[in-house]
Amino acid sequence: MAATIALIAHDRKKDQIVEFAKQYQPVLCRYRIIATGTTGQRIKDATSLEVERMLSGPMGGDAQISTQVAEGKVTAVIFLVDPLYAQPHEPDIQALQRICAVYDIPLAINVATASAILEQLRRTRVAHLIFNPVSGQGNADHDLTLIEELLSPAMELVVHLTTPDTHPSELVEDAMSAQADLILASGGDGTISAVAGALIGSDIPLGIIPRGTANAFAAALNISQGFMPIRSACNIIVQGKTWVVDVAKCNDRPMILLAGIGLEAEVIERADREAKNRWGAFAYIMEGIKQFNQQELFETEIEVEGVIKTFNAGAVTIANAAPPTSVMAQGAGIVDASDGLLDITIGAPKNDLEAVGAMVNLVGAALMRHPTNREDIINLQTRRVKVKTHPPQKVVVDGEMVGTTPIEVECIPRGLVVFAPESADLHQEAPETEA
């Protein structure tokens, strides 16, 4: 993580650095703060800043800070020196000055220079990146290095790695507490959905750097472009154009893409890793064709605006956003992520021949962006829907199995700010202003 400020002061300058920290607390609170032992304690006692204390200066705290500078973990160093009365036991600035010069890190030795650095940082965006190292088929270390190289010139970047014990939403909460200007998510749709879910209702824009198999949300917003999706996504974030899109909740679980009942859930569960590695998002389409022929119909009760309708269905898909590759969401030919409505597609083929025809028709609807024209594919739009089935059916939300029916899904209009290109085609009157 590079968004770190180091604070050091000689004994006769400690009162000055405490006053400096109090004055610039609104800026400093957005950064990780490290300081030599006594200086750090004085600042903690006088402010509400979280300060990571190194050893005291005489015991090598300045050397510890120098090491972090050399490791690329420090944005700026504030070292208030006493040029006239420094004591022999106090740290010498020469070693730290040399290491900052080698790695081109700003170093202030008086309050005037320190203020100039902080005023510049006040105008610099701080981005927190939630990075899933196990997503995708590439080299995660290489991907992260590339992201840092592409974004660091435009913003201060703080990196959080997901772990099996740390849910992405917890990392988002940490980033929001640190007053992040923007939050980025890099991984598959599960990671993107979890981060987006934690940002619902906030004004913090989300940057998406897709590294999964389907990358469905990125594709729906036209973010996943070309043969270099990481470079393309980072360029979109740097350009700073944001849009406001709808999100949803399924049984109070955040949902940015879709909820699938029956066929969709079976497809997600059965599409194995080998097929996804080989075919990518098309593995889901291939599995869908296979499963459509095998899917048994089930009794379905759908409640929309107080009206209950019943069907014998093999698949029910409730979409907030979906790319063309999410075939089972394409009954209306297009899923608009900014119209304040959910798009419901109900597939009810009566035999194998109808099943194949329905799947072909859905693929055609997605490609041509026109509604289907079949009696066994039913399209509905609503802001809120309840679905019950008999017997209970598996449910998948944003690519993750979440249990079985019944479910209730509600659209949250304009619930999420995202970085997206001009070509996102969100059917809004005008894009938001630049972030």
Give me the active site residues, please. 62
State the chain's maximal CA–CA distance in angstroms: 92
Distance CA 399, CA 215 (A): 10
Distance CA 52, CA 23 (A): 19
Distances (CA, A) of 280 to 259, 273, 325, 417: 20, 9, 11, 27
Query: How far, in whole angstroms, is CA 131 from its chain's centroid?
Result: 8
Specify the long-range contacts of residues 95-104, CB closer than 8 Å, at least 24 apart. 95/62, 95/63, 95/66, 96/8, 96/62, 96/65, 96/66, 96/69, 99/66, 99/69, 99/70, 100/69, 102/70, 103/69, 103/70, 103/72
**Cα radius of gyration (the chain):** 26
- Residues forming the annotated binding site for substrate? 10, 14, 36-39, 56-57, 89
Distance CA 370, CA 364 (A): 8
Pick from 301, 319, 376: which is nearest to 327 by CA?
Answer: 319
Two structure tokens written together for 226: 């070309």
Two structure tokens written together for 256: 């940015």
Distance CA 397, CA 433 (A): 31
Task: Give 428's Cβ-side CA count (13 Å radius).
Answer: 19
- Residues forming the annotated binding site? 10, 14, 36-39, 56-57, 89
Residue listed under structure tokens 């010139």: 153
Pick from 216, 222, 172: which is nearest to 197 by CA?
Answer: 172
DSSP string, 91-149: PPHHHHHHHHHHTT--EESSHHHHHHHHHHHHTS-EEEEEE-TT-SSS-HHHHHHHHHH
Pick from 154, 179, 175: which is nearest to 166 by CA?
Answer: 175
Tell me if residue 182 falls in helix, strand or coil. Answer: strand
Query: What type of residue sits at position 222?
Result: N
Given a contact cutoff of 8 angstroms between Cβ atoms, the answer to whether 184 and 171 are in contact is: no
